[in-house]
Structure formats: C-alpha cells, structure tokens
Structure 1
Amino acid sequence: MPHPQMFDDDDPVLERVRSIALALPGAKEKISHGRPAFHTVKIHCYYGGARKVDGQWEQHPHAVLVHLSESETAALQEDPRTFVPAYLGASGWIGLDLDARTDDQELGELIEESYRMVAPARLVAELGTSA
C-alpha cells in the first residue's frame, strides 16, 4: 500500500528546497514514503520529516533532512531548529525546520554538503571545490 502524500506541491518552502536541490548535477526528485526526496544514485535530501516525542509522532512538514559529516551534524544540533528524524537519524541524518526567515545561502550550503556526502564522485567534481 503506497504512503499518502504528506506535502503540498504548491508549498513555497518546498519550492525553495526543490530549486536548490535540483540545481545540483544529475539531481532528480522522487516521492519516497510520501515525501519529496532529491537524489542522484542515493538520496541527498528529503523535504519534511517526523520524530517520536514521548511516544507520539511530531511532524515537521516544513523541514529539510540532510546527511552531513559527524562534526557538522554535531555543530548543527546546537541550533534549536534542528531535530533528529525518525528512522534516518540513526544513520546520521538531521532535520532542520524551515520558514520564511531561513537564509537561502545556509539552506544551499547544507543541501550541497549533503549532496557531496552521497553523490558519485564524477558528479561532485562538476561542483568544483567551493563549499
């Protein structure tokens, strides 16, 4: 049984994530578990997530989930906008709640760094050395 869609395709925050994530070399979008997922061979970011708090699901519909290095994840966890997402958190993923005040440069850097962690080397080489 497929997962229900858990996002609004007209969401302006999703559009910001989509424009950054799909601008990366070879990036595509698919729906995974009811949420937008951006990938090449492996997924480099998701839009939306959830975590369990005191036995109850807490939804984070306007968030980006990224996979960063351990040191970057640890540093980002100091930000009160972050959360450890259910299921993916155990593999090193971290969620960041987004809103209109979220800086596009910061968002772009996080998505690009996640991309660099999982994309094939030939695609990462197309980005150059900035990051």
Structure 2
Amino acid sequence: MDALEQLRRLCLALPEVTERLSHGEPTWFVRGKKTFVTSADHHHDDRTAFWCAAGPGVQETLVAQDPEKYFRPPYVGHRGWLGVYLDVPLDWDVIGDLVEDAYRVIAPKALVAQLGASSCRPD
C-alpha cells in the first residue's frame, strides 16, 4: 500500500471523517467542515508530505528533533500545524499517532470522547 492510501485509511478510520479535494489535494475533514489533515504532493517543492493540526509545541519540538521528517508547512505553520514528509522511511505507528492527535485537536469534544483512551486506527 502506498503512503497516500495508508494515510487515507488512518484518517477515514476516525469518527465522522470525510475526504474531498481541497486546493487540488486529498484532504480530510471532521463532519465535512474542519480540516485536520491534508495531503501535500509536490505542493511547494519536489517532496510528498502531509500537513496536520498539532497541539501546542508539537511542531517546534518535532522539527527541531528531526528536520528530515518534519517541517513547518506554508499557510498553516504559523498556527502550529505540522508538516510530515512521506518520501522518507516511515513509522506508521508514529504517523497514526500524529493523525489521531490532529483529529483530537480539531474534532468537537463529543467526537473525541468516542475515541476514549484507545486508538481507532485500522490494523
């Protein structure tokens, strides 16, 4: 399975998530309204990546720790969103955690409560 398909599976496994194109890229929305993850296939450079919502300090920490995997994306980076390269060796458990955390940042509390302490990630 390619990286975009794996990312899609992770996003669509979460409650009330839909996918549609936004700015020409596959993008995942909570209840069809709020974006929490967007694909970035060569959007501003020759790299494939995705951008996701992130909690306070996450972007700065991950970019500082591993700039080969993480970056501050254009347009949304100033709001703390995280860019994640998909053209490097990937740990899909980490990617799953980032996707779920992005969902928790954006989704209404009632939907986040459906997740509970466990993950909704597909096996």
Whether TM-score is above 0.5 comes out as: yes
Partner of 1:12: 2
TM-score (norm 2): 0.83
Bigger Cα Rg = 1
2:95 corresponds to 1:103:
no
- Equivalent-residue separation in structure 2 for 1:71 and 1:82 (angstroms): 13
User: Post-superposition, which runs of at least 4 consecutive aligned residues in structure 1 deviate over 6 A?
Assistant: none
Aligned residue among 97, 108, 117 for 1:120: 108
- Equivalent-residue separation in structure 1 for 2:42 and 2:56 (angstroms): 21
- Equivalent-residue separation in structure 1 for 2:55 and 2:107 (angstroms): 14
TM-score (norm 1): 0.78
Partner of 2:16: 26
Q: How many residues align?
A: 115
Q: CA RMSD in A?
A: 2.0
Q: How does 1:74-93 map to 2 (within 5 A)?
A: 74-78=60-64, 79-80=66-67, 81-93=69-81
Structure 1 runs not aligned, ≥5 long: 1-10, 52-56
- Equivalent-residue separation in structure 2 for 1:50 and 1:71 (angstroms): 26
Structure 2 runs not aligned, ≥5 long: none
